[in-house]
Amino acid sequence: MKIYKTADIKMTPEVFHSADHKKVVANFLGISPKDIFDLKIFKKSVDARHKNNVCYVVSFTFCSEKSFSNPKITQPPVRKDVFEKLTPRLSDKKIVVVGSGAAGLFCGLCLAKCGFCPTVIEQGKNVADRQKDVDKFWKSGVLDLSSNIQFGLGGAGTFSDGKLTTSANNELVFSVLNQFVRYGAPDDILTNGMPHIGTDNLKIAVQNIADEIVSCGGKVLFETKLVDFDVSSNKIESVTLKNKGKVFIEKADVLVLAIGHSARDTFELLYQKGIEMRQKPFSVGVRVEHLQETINKGCYGQNYDKRLPAATYKMAAHFGDRSAYTFCMCPGGFVVNASSEHGGVVTNGMSYFARDGVNANSALLVNVDPSDFESDSPLAGIEFQRKIEHAAFVQGGSDYSAPAQNVTDFLKGKPSVCFYETKPTIMPKALPCDLTECLPEFVTKTLKKALPEFGKRIEGFDKSGVLTGVETRSSCPLKVVRNECFQSNIEGIFPIGEGSGYAGGIVTAAVDGLRCAIKIAEIL
């Protein structure tokens, strides 16, 4: 038996969901269905470029005893998981990984599989206990500073749509996807052109990865925070950790900083200790929320096939030195309160794997340049974020209610006093108001230009919907400088992931963690 891959086949929703795939493939290739065995989907995506004529684009793999000379039949690419090539070895090196987001977990998992027995520390809690704290905050407004949407096992990505999209296509990307499947994610993330796990499956996967690190001899310590570290001859010597009020010192040959974009007190510690950091651009804005049905019709056409998945979108508009764009779109999802500091409101988006919620939401952001900051300190971007988050807290009534405004009211410059067809999903609640009171003027001006442009691409985008503020944590406003060996200006300290400025999502963060672990294994 030989394995083959087909070229892309366009299939209507009716054909994809109802027809015999073997017969469809045989007809497309001009061969007999009897020559096709073990037919599997290799890659699937939705082509929505032509509304009212939306189709699936699907390629398949199959086995056959015959040989073919057919331009529509090729050999499938060989996709290898780097975890299958890791060679365990005994090592007494002390490695501490700070943070259990995608970067920290995959770095820790790779190191554990190599025999290094890393200690992964996380200031937040495990998934089950973290969920209780998040639910309590959403219901009552009581915020736990260490256990919330930003902090806890899996990092901020645990409460998200769990998007696994990236422009890269290499063995490390495949390795991340394959490992997610191994630890509980749905198989179709390996075949979907725009894969996502969903917050429900992410909670399972990250807990299983943490358990695997422990089973390989490593440690995962929750409610444990890095509060200091010692350096000798410009090399890391030890770390000072705090667990539930108890402070203790651990030797560290390697300190991996996978701290995420919201560990602001840790960034302050790094700055005080002389870790080289620099400002970098990022973006701020709001969450825009529409009825999913509005987005489906706007993307697929008025009479779209109901078997199509919840529609997604990605848009951008440019106005001189400012741009507005959508980011982290959550079909059938929810806007969530992602605050992590007292006196500040932050929003994010979340979807379950089924994406079956009534509303769709997306970040609607405007670029921020370091020239917009109030100082040249590497931490100035954090203060820029804080100022907006505090203004949103006040505008929302100072009880963690989120300030929100109807899209039509926002464009008319009129404060909202109630919500129309689209009801905000954020908890504890949304308070109708004027968002211009808590966003920089250049942000609101750019958003008011962008919304009508987006309305030309998706009908109704600027005629309905609600804006909820504020989205300030789309990426880290600083970068922790590192060299080609992933090390900072202090030997043995490895900054990685989104918080250190080297990733922009779950996959890129996980890949950065893997690359760092492989480099550490080479050095040690």
Secondary structure (DSSP) of 84-100: GG---------EEEE--
User: Which one of 3.40.50.11540, 1.20.1090.10, 3.20.20.10, 3.50.50.60 gives the CATH number of domain 88-276+488-523?
Assistant: 3.50.50.60
Q: Write the pLDDT tens digit of every residue in 481-508.
A: 999 999 999 999 999 999 999 999 999 9
pLDDT at 165: 87
The answer to whether residues 277 and 478 touch, using CB atoms and an 8 Å cutoff, is yes
Q: What is the DSSP letter of 379?
A: T
- Enumerate the β-bridge partners of residue 219: 119
With a pLDDT cut of 70, the percent of the chain lying above it is: 100
| Band of residue 390 on the pLDDT scale cut at 50, 70, 90 | very high
Q: Write the pLDDT tens digit of every residue in 58-75.
A: 999 999 999 999 999 999
Q: How far apart are CA 223 and CA 133, in angstroms?
A: 13
Q: How far apart are CA 63 and CA 43, in angstroms?
A: 16
User: CATH fold of 2-74, please?
Assistant: Alpha-Beta Plaits (3.30.70)
| Band of residue 145 on the pLDDT scale cut at 50, 70, 90 | very high
Q: How far apart are CA 368 and CA 390, in angstroms?
A: 18
pLDDT at 88: 87
pLDDT at 87: 86
Q: Write the pLDDT tens digit of every residue in 419-434.
A: 999 999 999 999 999 9
Q: Write the pLDDT tens digit of every residue in 181-202.
A: 999 999 999 999 999 999 999 9
| Band of residue 169 on the pLDDT scale cut at 50, 70, 90 | confident
pLDDT at 288: 98
What value does the mean pLDDT take over residues 218-242? Answer: 98
3-state secondary structure 199-250: HHHHHHHHHHHHHHHHHCCCEEEECEEEEEEEEECCEEEEEEEEECCEEEEE
- Give me the chain's average pLDDT, please: 96
What value does the mean pLDDT take over residues 7-30? Answer: 97
Q: Write the pLDDT tens digit of every residue in 397-416.
A: 999 999 999 999 999 999 99
Q: How far apart are CA 467 and CA 361, in angstroms?
A: 9
| Band of residue 79 on the pLDDT scale cut at 50, 70, 90 | confident
pLDDT at 168: 78
The answer to whether residues 252 and 229 touch, using CB atoms and an 8 Å cutoff, is yes
Radius of gyration, alpha carbons of the chain: 24
What value does the mean pLDDT take over residues 279-306? Answer: 97
Q: How far apart are CA 149 and CA 337, in angstroms?
A: 8
- The candidate with the shortest Cα–Cα distance to 136, out of 117, 123, 149, 155, is 149
Does 94 or 245 have the greater pLDDT score? 94
Work out whether strand 119-122 and strand 219-222 pair parallel, antiparallel, or are unpaired.
parallel
Q: Is the confidence at residue 98, as pLDDT, over 90?
A: yes
Does 169 or 386 have the greater pLDDT score? 386
Q: Where are the domains of the chain?
A: 2-74, 88-276+488-523, 280-471
Name the token pair of 515: 């690359």
Name the token pair of 422: 């689209």
CB < 8 Å & 24+ apart, contacts of 230-233: 231/273, 231/490
Q: Write the pLDDT tens digit of every residue in 434-487.
A: 999 999 999 999 999 999 999 999 999 999 999 999 999 999 999 999 999 999
With a pLDDT cut of 90, the percent of the chain lying above it is: 96
What value does the mean pLDDT take over residues 6-28? Answer: 97
Torsion angle of alpha carbons 366, 370, 374, 379, nearest 10°?
110
Q: How far apart are CA 374 and CA 5, in angstroms?
A: 56
pLDDT at 89: 85
Residues 6 or more apart whose CB falls under 8 angstroms from that of 380 comprise 279, 370, 373, 374, 477
Q: Is the confidence at residue 167, as pLDDT, over 90?
A: no
3-state secondary structure 3-72: EEEECCEEECHHHHHHCCHHHHHHHHHCCCHHHCEEEEEEEEEEECCCCCCCEEEEEEEEEECCCCCCCC
pLDDT at 181: 97
